[in-house]
């Protein structure tokens, strides 16, 4: 998942701190790290926003709203959102701004807010943003699947998994090849992940969307059990 961080240059230290608190497997596009010497800045920004990222997080305050660059990035992002027909622009308010001061197309959205510039508040914001990003990924996968006319075989998809996903799938195969369900806590312990790990959640949801795994709620507090799908188990038997 690749995230573009749109902001006013005045808040560069805040953005660096926020970026550093996101999980390492979330790829972030930041101008000072991603632009190369000699590149056309407007062309590269537009190309990245309209074809090279999954979501744009835009940090807004009065300085950002007065910035020609930030507003141009927002315009490109809203155009991209309309093309994708899904949520793409994710706004964060850094100070109180009246709704009538916000640009069209964004004033009626749900915002995340930074309470203050203390490290604990920035850390809380990064955690909240991470959780909501994964929720959006799950929703987007559901809608995108309807647009895919055909799917590769699971054996082919398995060869293209990232190292982390492949390791998790290997563990699930080892524990559940016979069709047995594996509890969320057992997976957390077996994979040496903390309880309710965002990274583990993302990998499990990805495997579910790719039809390797199915899940079942087993308690009211949001605990699930996981098992290999019949389709994937049948391919394992053939292999």
Place 148 in a pLDDT band, splitting at 50, 70 and 90: very low
Are domains 2-145 and 154-238 of this chain identical in fold?
Answer: no
- Give the angle subtended at the CA of 165 by the CAs of 236 and 25, to the nearest 5°: 170
User: DSSP state, 37?
Assistant: T
Using only the alpha carbons of the chain, give its radius of gyration. Answer: 20
What count of Cα atoms within 13 Å lies in the side-chain half-sphere of residue 40?
A: 5
**Which CATH number applies to 154-238: 1.10.10.10, 1.50.10.20, 3.30.70.20, 3.90.1150.10?**
1.10.10.10
54 contacts 29 by C-beta, under 8 angstroms: no
Please state the domain extents for the chain: 2-145, 154-238
- Average pLDDT, stretch 169-189? 91
**Cross-sheet strand order for the sheet of 213-217:** 182-183, 224-228, 213-217
Distance CA 118, CA 116 (A): 6
CATH of 2-145, one of 3.40.50.10140, 3.40.50.720, 3.40.50.150, 3.20.20.120: 3.40.50.10140
Average pLDDT over residues 115-141: 85
Q: Higher pLDDT residue, 189 or 26?
A: 189
Report the C-alpha dihedral over residues 160, 132, 139, 206, rounded to 10 degrees: 20
Q: Per residue in 52-94, pLDDT tens?
A: 788 999 999 999 999 998 999 999 999 999 998 888 999 999 9
Contact yes or no for 227/214 (Cβ under 8 A): yes
Question: Does the structure show a pLDDT above 60 at 19?
Answer: yes
Tokens 């949801």, residue? 205
pLDDT band at residue 46 under the 50/70/90 scheme:
confident
Dihedral angle sign, alpha carbons of residues 42, 29, 102, 116: negative
CA 47 to chain centre: 20
Spatial distance between the Cα atoms of 17 and 112, rounded to a whole number of angstroms? 17
Helix (H) or strand (E) holding 32: helix 31-34
Tokens 């309880």, residue? 195
List the beta bridge partners of residue 2. 27
What are the C-alpha distances in Å from 49 to residues 6, 74, 108, 187? 10, 9, 22, 36
| pLDDT range class, residue 121, cuts 50, 70, 90 | very high
Residue range 203-225: mean pLDDT, rounded? 82
Residue 42 has pLDDT above 90, yes or no: no
Q: Tell me the mean pLDDT in the region 17-28.
A: 86
Could you tell me which residue, 208 or 197, shows the higher pLDDT?
A: 208
């Amino acid at each position: 998942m690749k995230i573009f961080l749109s902001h006013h240059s005045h808040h560069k230290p805040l953005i660096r701190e926020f970026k550093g608190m996101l999980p390492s497997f979330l790829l972030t596009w930041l101008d000072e790290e991603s632009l190369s010497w000699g590149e056309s800045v407007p062309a590269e920004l537009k190309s990245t926003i309209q074809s090279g990222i999954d979501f744009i997080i835009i940090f807004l305050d009065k300085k950002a709203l007065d910035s020609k660059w930030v507003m141009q990035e927002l315009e490109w992002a809203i155009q991209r959102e309309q093309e994708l027909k899904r949520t793409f622009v994710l706004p964060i308010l850094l100070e109180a701004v009246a709704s009538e001061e916000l640009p069209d197309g964004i004033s009626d959205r749900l915002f995340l807010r930074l309470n203050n510039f203390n490290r604990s508040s920035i850390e809380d914001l990064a955690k909240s943003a991470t959780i909501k990003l994964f929720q959006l990924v799950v929703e987007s996968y559901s809608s995108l699947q309807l647009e895919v006319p055909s799917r590769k075989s699971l054996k082919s998809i398995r060869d293209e998994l990232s190292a982390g996903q492949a390791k998790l799938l290997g563990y699930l195969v080892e524990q559940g090849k016979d069709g047995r369900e594996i509890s969320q806590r057992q997976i957390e312990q077996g994979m040496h992940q903390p309880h309710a790990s965002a990274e583990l959640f993302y990998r499990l949801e990805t495997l579910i969307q790719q039809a390797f795994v199915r899940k079942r709620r087993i308690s009211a507090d949001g605990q699930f059990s996981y098992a290999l799908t019949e389709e994937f188990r049948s391919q394992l038997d053939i292999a």
